[in-house]
Structure 1
């Protein structure tokens, strides 16, 4: 994953305020320690351990990014998805949600993305990758562990008309732009795309800007949803 954002993404604040939500104190302590050590631009502003506490903390602290476990006690049994859905229903909520879970089950990924989270990474992620994912989400982009991005396909139906429309839209892209588009939509960083396609990071950035422009999209998050809805992942 990478902190690099598309040209259309908003500038990141000097300090990104992060709320940790997990029902295991040791996990919260570990994430706090890792991010504090490796990402001084990320400020941990609070913690919560259940649905009710998380909703209250989001309202009170108004963090930039909520690092959210998907399996949480309390509430109506909806876990992290319930927290995201409830908070995002409030019109003035400034927070964005990134799921951080030990689970890599498709149903968990789909549930939290349906609820409005902008990404989903597993706890096998490194501290640097996690920090980059937080920065990406704070900037309005999507962030997925690469193999999980395809699960968002299950959250979006598509019919023959949508497939035809996708074909027309894809015609606007060159073959290389299509390759870059699919990898970016799956959650690959610019550096990972560059390594996969044997091109420079600068060339990847140029292709991403062209893809977003041609498809009239504003961010990687929108690109992921666009590709998923058309079964292009």
Structure 2
């Protein structure tokens, strides 16, 4: 299924939703886009707040960012696993990297869409996930199929990436895509010196010696 599929078979049903993202402006934007069609019960900005809201309110669907303070979206799902079986998780992330998509689905999400999705498409995706369907943006569905087919070495990707912090992963991906240090600093709201520190750490942890090797490493694992 994709996020462009037809709306739920019960168009009059208003789904209950919790929105989880560490950027307040983005949460407000999502809420403004969907609130006329769903009931937004709460917002959360980190893992602890998300876990509390899910356990307390038991929403039908949680819109969950992948990278969150306190351990990420996967940590939220692990901490509430089996405690709210009626709640389903739909990842809504800026990241379209294979390891984020596959790791999030393995952690328990029913779907994964990127933040380029429109409001009506997101409402439709929420409805389908609430009914138990799996929903993916078209390109991301290919990652999941490839993983199950064995053409992406998921275990190897996970083992390598487990050595990196969330911030190091963000820096790694931008550097591998050809961003200059100054551009990375601007994108992530950190200093150039901090970018240099993260790049050195990434190269050391992955046992690579240059940006060129890092780009090839990321490309081979479909992380770009």
TM-score range, shorter chain: 0.5 to 0.7
Secondary structure in 2 matching 1:156? helix
Distance 2:106 2:142 in 1: 14
Query: Which residue in the other structure is 2:77 paired with?
Result: 84
TM-score between the two structures when normalised by the length of structure 2: 0.61
CA contact (8 A) 2:59 2:87 kept: yes
Distance 1:23 1:143 in 2: 23
Secondary structure in 1 matching 2:100? helix
Query: Which residue in the other structure is 1:105 paired with?
Result: 97
2:127 to 111, 135, 155: 135
Distance 2:101 2:92 in 1: 10
Shift of 1:12: 7.4
Distance 1:13 1:84 in 2: 28
Q: Deviations over 1:112-157 (max 9, x none)?
A: 1001100000000111111111111011101100010011135436
Query: Which residue in the other structure is 2:28 paired with?
Result: 29
Secondary structure in 2 matching 1:141? coil
Stretches of structure 2 that go unaligned for 5 or more consecutive residues are 151-224
RMSD: 1.9
Query: Which residue in the other structure is 2:5 paired with?
Result: 2
Distance 2:80 2:144 in 1: 21
Stretches of structure 1 that go unaligned for 5 or more consecutive residues are 159-233
Runs of 4+ in structure 1 deviating by more than 4 angstroms, as ranges, are none
TM-score between the two structures when normalised by the length of structure 1: 0.59
Distance 1:110 1:101 in 2: 13
Secondary structure in 1 matching 2:5? coil
The number of residues matched between the two structures is 147
Matched, 1:66 2:62: yes
2:148 to 156, 159, 162: 156
Secondary structure in 1 matching 2:89? strand
